A and B are shown apart, each in its own frame.
Chain A
Amino acid sequence: MEFNAPAGENLFDRSKIVGKSTPRIDGPLKVSGRAPYAAERHDVAANQAYGWIVGAGIAKGRIRSMDLDDARRAPGVIAIVAATEHEPVASSDFNYAPLFGGREVSHYHQAIAVVVAETFEQARAAAGLIRTSYANGDGSFDLAKVAPGAPLASDRPSDSAEIGDFESAFAAAPVKLDERYTTPDEAHAMMEPFATIAAWDGPKLTVWTSNQMIEWSRQALGSILKMDADNIRVDSPYIGGGFGGKLFVRSDAVMAALGAKAAKRPVKIAMQRPLMFNNATHRHATRQRLRIGAERDGRIVAIGHENWSGNITGEAGENATLQTPKLYAGANRLIANHVAQLDLPEGNAMRAPGELPGHLALEVAMDELAEKLGMDPVELRIVNDAQGMVPGEPDTKISDRNLTRCLREGAERFGWSKRPARPASARQGRWLTGMGVAAGYRAAPTMKSGARVRMTDRGQLIVETDMTDIGTGSYTILAQTAAETMGLPLSTVRVELGDSGYPVSAGSGGQWGAASSTAGVYAACVALRRMIGEKLGFDADAATFDGGQATLDGESWAIGDAGALTAEDSMTFGEFKKDYDVGTYAGHFAEVKVDAYTGETYITRMLAVCDAGRILNPLSARSQVIGGMVMAAGAALTEDLHVDKRFGFFANHDLAGYEVPVHADIPHQECVFLDTLDPVSTPLKAKGVGELGICGPGAAVANAIYNATGIRVRDYPLTLDKYLDRLPAIA
């Protein structure tokens, strides 16, 4: 089915199941430990051996030698696959850093061996006996040093653009802001580590793994292992968090496959936590410059956003300017992204890639501009809300945008009018209190997504698609969509996900999963409805499906009478969507208290008011948004991969050293969805929310800290050592 025009009124406008808060249908399995994650799939292959990945001890250079003798002789060892004895695996379209093989080391903790043994403990102990000698090479590890010479990025059309005459307009603007901001490298730090069980059957390989994008990864594994992707099966039904870290194949899958081949046994690998931060990918650090010129009434006349980041091949980087053209109007504009070459581990997508650091800078700059103008920061954003147009794209239409409503409603709900007008003016005892606001924008793309629906002769509906549920609630929204479309109770629907044997879906990434995959299931259900209609002799497209019956012109058919049927289809998204900018919008608010003595920051309240079209399941959508807010709080206050610029690695590579928020950091969160519909998005008029929640709250926290203390820190995270000397004098 092709979605080739904005949706008119349809069955989802009368929905009984879609759009209703629905507890996760996979919830009981998860809370009782019966939803097996990759490393727990003991039943899928007999005789599993255990693999342990050895990471390189240097960041850049060459392996002189690997002494494997003691390890090979160690108890329980079945096989060792070592870089010095193995050709480099091939690359794929989805990897920048090499994953394994050969003597060259291109980043710290790059996989240089896998030890396969009868038990996990034996594999780990034997790995400790491998002695590796290196010839150290010189690497580039300091973004601040190389950023000035970094070339303009050219990979994507959004990387660099100038509209009007930015420099002149900025110079002439009566009110100007020119500030620089930095954000650090960050880790996905998901709960479930990278994990894979791999098994060979002749030329065929099966990987039971933890991965967000089944088809990408099947193709990538084919490229990396130089084999026909049709001989590969990828299965990933349950995923304990990914945040973009599991969009692509990582070394767990590659080493499990190579280990299994060498051991002639299925091999299971769960990557050890201390390896995850340098072996896999991370969010790139950024250095950003914001220049905004405005009239005295607050209207922006010039806005320039420049960004510098780095990556192992000098490609892609963190596009921190993405949201800037979408949020604010202004005739004269400059966007520039520069990417330097660094020899740190591979930077790649992490939840709202680009937008998370972009909002951290842009939305603080807007706060700073509001102060220069003597304007309320909510009003400044509303005055400049780029509604009705995308700057520089006169032919692009906005599908449905309610940013101003988000900000107004948020201000009302949050009690914004009680915000201390003057920074550092509200103090109770040792506590300085303040409030901050930020706008949020995140694109709402859609991608082709397929599904198969099988109606059994016992009245059950089974949905099969390679869509993944990374904790987001995919199982539930797909069941809701199928139940709604077929007019069946939710309890009759079973959803099977994450298997490359199922039709190819959009997968989980880029905030496209929910909208795309529900549209795909809808398409398959429409095909099934037509099969039922043909079989029972009615026009399915004209009929109403409800309560297990199809009704048309006063006549009814029990759809179960059609017997067992299977339908398969994909939703593709037509050319007309290119005429539109389809986005999601939010008003984010935060309140903090800061200890005037120590600078410790406590977030006391957070609110997000979101505009994301039809909310398919308000319960799981709320979880997505508040999860994003937690992650944004971490980005604002604590999360920081510390680069050791001598050795070229992230030094704090475990969960004690890399501090994600804990419950005590997050006392009260509220999430409100505006009741909106976006007919340009999909037939369900829904958009994703998985990344909207992280776009803005970090800046709201930073702005609240400024409001509380009068201290502006432009280098994230805002740890107390960066402003201790600017806190009120102590007696």
Chain B
Amino acid sequence: MRSFTYERAASPAEAAKAVATTQGAKFIAGGTNLIDLMKLEIETPTHLVDVQDLGLDQVEDTEDGGLRIGTFVSNTALSAHPRVREDYAVLTRAIQAGASGQLRNKATTGGNLLQRTRCAYFYDTNMPCNKRKPGDGCAAIDGFSRQLGVIGTSDSCIATYPGDMAVAMRALDAVVETVKPDGTARAIPAADFHRLWGDTPHIETALEPGEIITHVRLPAPVGGQHFYHKVRDRRSYAYALVSVAAVIQPDGTGRVAFGGVAPKPWRSEAADAQLPNGAAAVVRTAFADARPTEQNAFKIPLAERTLAGILADAQTGTRS
């Protein structure tokens, strides 16, 4: 770990400005990902702006019947919130499928959206990685890629966004609210929040330098049955091979987002439209441009089978 300086910000705009104007600065909230990466010198910030004094830790009802989630609401609190449990159960289930109780107590809503990939080569600083060191090459593409991405990847990087919460938020059409260093606010739809890697896999989100997440807004509830099925090698404390967040309406329509397969929660409106035609039709559409490796090609049939199980459970009213 490299040495760094540290400050605590008093307002979102001030925090944004501090990070934007200090070379090598980063925000720190729960620290469940950043600190680990600093110990391994994968992240080497020279300055940390601690945002824990900013408040922003409430879940509020919005006028349109939705929710506005403060960025520092912990994963535990968000998953346990009565309105979330009642109206956005896919989100509760996704959050509780992730990490461990201790980590969820510490992890924040905004921080979780920024969780970095778990690619083994990203984690080993002896190995080439374009995400860690732009232009370095990618050891994963021809290597141990079983966990890695099958779609939305590039010749530079095949890492995945590893989280669960964001997959449910994508299915719910959440909107990420931010403040930029100049103090202006903006709203970024979940669909646009995470970027595809392209030639710049070190740039992972739509956030500009210094831009800070303040809230995540959920639109009014959409009803339906809510499912989050996270398939993994062991029953807890493991990243998804494939996860499926789905909201299924009584008429068979709905929405579905896939986790563990791409640089971002993977959803398309065209694939959603295939839901009444069954899992195969959805997955055929959603994964039409997939470029899996030999080791992770199974993720596509797994996605189909996982969704098929959800659709069967939806018909019988069994929660996945």
- Distance of A358 from chain B, by nearest CB (Å): 24
* Among candidates B121, B278, B302, residue contacting A598 with C-beta atoms closer than 8 Å: B302
Surface stretch bound by A, among B59-67, B138-146, B205-213, B259-267: B138-146
A720 partner, pick from B3, B143, B231, beta carbons under 8 A: B231
Q: How large is the interface on A (under 10, 10 to 19, 20 to 34, 35 or more residues)?
A: 35 or more
Query: Which chain A positions have C-beta within 8 A of B236?
Result: 662-665
In chain B, positions 264-304 with a C-beta closer than 8 Å to chain A are: 278-279, 298, 301-302, 304
A659 beta carbon closer than 8 Å to chain B: yes
A56 nearest in chain B by CB position: B126
CB distance from A49 to the nearest CB of B (A): 18
How many angstroms between the C-alpha atoms of A511 and B213 in the bound complex?
56
Interface assignment of B185: CB less than 8 Å from any CB of chain A: no
Q: How far is the CA of A642 from the CA of B148 in the complex (A)?
A: 14
Segment of B14-22, B193-201, B250-258, B306-314 in the binding face:
B306-314
A66 smallest CB distance to B (angstroms) = 14
Q: Which residue of chain B has the shortest Cβ distance to A657 in the bound complex? A: B120
Cβ contacts A422-435/B at 8 Å (1 or 0 each): 00000001100000
Cβ A651 vs Cβ B120 within 8 A: yes
Task: Identify B312's interface contact among A597, A663, A724, CB under 8 A.
Answer: A597
A730 touches B308 (CB 8 A): yes
Q: Are A651 and B144 in contact (CB under 8 A)?
A: yes
A128 touches which of B2, B143, B231 (Cβ 8 Å): B2
Task: Find chain A residues with CB under 8 A from B229 CB.
Answer: 598
**Chain A residue contacts of B316, Cβ below 8 A:** 429
**B298 pairs with A644, CB closer than 8 A:** no
Q: What residue of chain A has the Cβ atom nearest to residue B308's Cβ?
A: A730
Residue pairs across A and B with CB atoms within 8 Å: the count is 107
Q: Is the CB of A664 within 8 A of B235?
A: yes
A161, B305: Cα distance in complex, Å: 48
* Pairwise interchain contact B238-A598, C-beta atoms closer than 8 A: no
A429 to B318, CA, bound (A): 10
Asked whether any CB of chain B lies closer than 8 Å to the CB of A151, the reply is no
Pair A661/B306 contact, Cβ less than 8 Å: no
Residue of B nearest to A602 (CB): B235
Complex formed: what's the CA distance from A247 to B209 in Å? Answer: 51
CB-CB under 8 A from A721, the residues of chain B are 146, 241, 298, 302
Q: Is the CB of A724 within 8 A of B301?
A: yes
* Cβ of A87 under 8 Å from chain B: no
User: In the bound complex, do residue B234 and residue A638 qualify as a contact, i.e. CB atoms below 8 Å apart?
Assistant: yes
Contacts of B318 in A (CB 8 A): 429
Q: Mark B221-258, 1 if CB is under 8 A from A, else 0.
A: 00000000101011111110100000000000000000
Partner among A274, A597, A637, A662 whose Cβ is within 8 Å of the Cβ of B306: A597
**Cβ B144 vs Cβ A731 within 8 A:** no
Q: Check if B309 sits within 8 Å of A595, measured CB to CB.
A: yes
CB pair A665 B39 closer than 8 Å: no
Q: How far is the CA of A725 from the CA of B306 in the complex (A)?
A: 13
A599: which B residues are within 8 A, CB to CB?
A: 302, 305
Is the pair A659, B233 in contact by a Cβ cutoff of 8 Å? Answer: yes
A656 interfacial by beta-carbon distance below 8 Å: yes
Q: Within 8 Å CB of A600, what residues of B?
A: 231
Distance between Cα atoms of A720 and B230 in the complex (Å): 13
A314 on the interface (CB 8 Å rule)?
no
User: Contact at B144–A637, with CB atoms within 8 Å?
Assistant: no
> Quick one: which of B103-162 are within 8 Å of A by CB?
118, 120-121, 123-124, 126-127, 139, 142-144, 146
With a cutoff of 8 Å between Cβ atoms, the chain B residues found around residue A121 in the complex are 1
**Residue interface mask A190-226, B partner, CB < 8 A = 1:** 0000000000000000000000000000000000000
Closest A residue to B40 by CB, please name it: A274
Chain A residue with minimal CB distance to B127?
A: A647
In the complex, are the beta carbons of A727 and B2 less than 8 A apart? no
Smallest CB–CB gap between A400 and chain B, Å?
38
A 622-658 to B, binary, CB cutoff 8 A, 1 in contact else 0: 0000000000000001100010101100011110110
**Total count of chain B residues near the partner, CB < 8 A:** 42
The reply on A125 being an interface residue by CB < 8 A is yes
What is the CB-to-nearest-CB distance from B198 to chain A, in angstroms, rounded to a whole number?
A: 25
- B234→A652 contact, CB < 8 A: no
Also in contact, A128 and B1, with CB within 8 A (given A429-B318, A598-B306, A644-B144):
yes
- Interface: B41 (CB within 8 A): yes
Complex contacts, A57 vs chain B, CB 8 Å: 126
Interface residues of A in 705-731 (CB under 8 A from B): 717, 719-721, 724-725, 727, 730-731
In the bound complex, what is the Cα–Cα distance between A58 and B236 (angstroms)? 33
Q: How far is the CA of A386 from the CA of B146 in the complex (A)?
A: 43
* A510 CB to nearest B CB, Å: 29
Cα of A602 to Cα of B234 in the assembled complex, Å? 9
B309 touches A597 (CB 8 A): yes
Asked if A727 contacts B1 (CB within 8 A), the reply is no
Report yes or no: B231 in contact with A598, Cβ–Cβ below 8 A: yes
Query: How far is it, in angstroms, between the C-alpha of A637 and the C-alpha of B121 when the chains are bound?
Result: 24
Residues on A with beta carbons closer than 8 Å to the beta carbon of B279: 730
User: Which residue of chain A has its CB nearest to the CB of B233?
Assistant: A638
Q: How far is the CB of A269 from chain B (nearest CB, A)?
A: 16
Most buried by A among B121, B144, B237, B298: B144
Within the complex, the shortest CB–CB distance from B18 to chain A, in Å, comes to: 24
* A719 to B, closest residue via Cβ: B233
In Å, the complex CA distance between A597 and B312 comes to 10
Known: A124-B39, A651-B124, A656-B118. A727 touches B305 (CB 8 A): yes
Residue of B whose beta carbon sits closest to that of A656: B118
Type the 1/0 row for B36-79, where 1 means its CB is closer than 8 Å to any CB of A.
Answer: 00011100000000000000000000000000000000000000
* A125 engages B235 (CB within 8 Å): no
Give every chain A residue within 8 A of B237 (Cβ-Cβ).
662
Q: Mark A23-56, 1 if CB is under 8 A from B, else 0.
A: 0000000000000000000000000000000000
The minimal Cβ–Cβ distance linking A156 to chain B, given in whole angstroms, is 33
Give the docked Cα–Cα distance between A125 and B120 (Å).
Answer: 22
A598-B309 contact in complex given A637-B234, A662-B237, A720-B302, C-beta closer than 8 Å: yes
Residues of B within 8 A of A274 (CB): 40, 123-124
Among B41, B143, B306, contact of A651 (Cβ-Cβ < 8 Å): B143
Query: Most chain-B Cβ atoms within 10 A of its Cβ — which of A597, A662, A719?
Result: A597
A-B contact pairs, 28 of them (CB 8 A): A75-B3, A121-B1, A597-B308, A597-B312, A598-B231, A599-B302, A600-B231, A602-B235, A642-B120, A642-B144, A642-B146, A644-B139, A644-B143, A644-B144, A651-B124, A651-B143, A656-B118, A656-B238, A661-B234, A662-B235, A663-B236, A664-B235, A720-B302, A721-B298, A724-B298, A727-B305, A730-B305, A731-B312
Knowing that A597-B305, A597-B312 touch, tell me 6 more A-B residue pairs with CB under 8 angstroms: A57-B126, A128-B1, A430-B313, A644-B139, A657-B118, A661-B234
Which 8 A-B pairs have CB atoms at the shortest separation, nearest pair first? Answer: A597-B309, A57-B126, A664-B235, A721-B298, A651-B144, A664-B236, A730-B308, A651-B120
